[in-house]
Amino acid sequence: MQLVPRLLALALVLPFALAGSARAEDPAPAPAPEPAGVKPAPYLWVIEGPPRIYLFGTIHVPDPRVMDFPAVVWDAHAAADVVWGELSLEDQNSPKVQQAVLLPEGKTLKEVLPAATYDKLQAHLAARGSSPMIFARMKPIWASVILGLLDALPLLSQAEPMDDLLLKQAKAAGKVTGGLETIEEQLQVFESVPAEAQARILDEAVVELEKARSEGKQPIEELIVAYACGNLQALHDETAKMAASEDVEVKALAKRLLDDRNLKMVERLLERTAKAPTKTYFVLVGAGHFPGPEGFLALLEKKGLPARRLAADEKLPAQALVPTPATK
| Per-residue pLDDT reduced to its tens digit, 249-298 | 888 888 888 899 999 999 999 999 999 999 999 999 999 899 989 999 99
Q: At residue 32, does pLDDT exceed 70? A: no
Task: Assign 242 a pLDDT band (cuts: 50, 70, 90).
Answer: low
- Distance CA(136)–CA(152), nearest Å, equals 20
Q: Where are the domains of the chain?
A: 4-327
Q: Does residue 155 contact residue 61 with C-beta atoms inside 8 Å?
A: yes
Q: Does residue 59 contact residue 155 with C-beta atoms inside 8 Å?
A: no
Q: At residue 322, does pLDDT exceed 70? A: no
Q: At residue 247, does pLDDT exceed 90? A: no
pLDDT, position 9: 47
pLDDT, position 123: 95
The conformational region for residue 308 under phi > 0 = left, psi -120 to 50 = alpha, else beta, is beta
- Distance CA(43)–CA(75), nearest Å, equals 14
More confident residue, 294 or 242: 294
CB burial string 150-161: b at 16+ within 10 A, e below: bbbbebbeeeeb
- Which residues, other chains included, contact 87 with Cβ-Cβ below 8 Å and sequence gap of 6+? 9, 179, 181, 182, 183, 186
pTM as predicted: 0.85
Q: At residue 3, does pLDDT exceed 70? A: no
- Average of pLDDT values for 197-208? 90
Largest CA distance in the chain: 61
pLDDT, position 328: 41
Residue (of 320, 258, 326, 254) closest to 289 by Cα position = 258
pLDDT, position 38: 60
Least confident of 55-64, 90-99, 119-128, 305-314: 90-99
End-to-end, the C-alpha distance of the chain in Å comes to 36
pLDDT, position 37: 53
Q: At residue 147, does pLDDT exceed 80? A: yes
pLDDT, position 231: 81
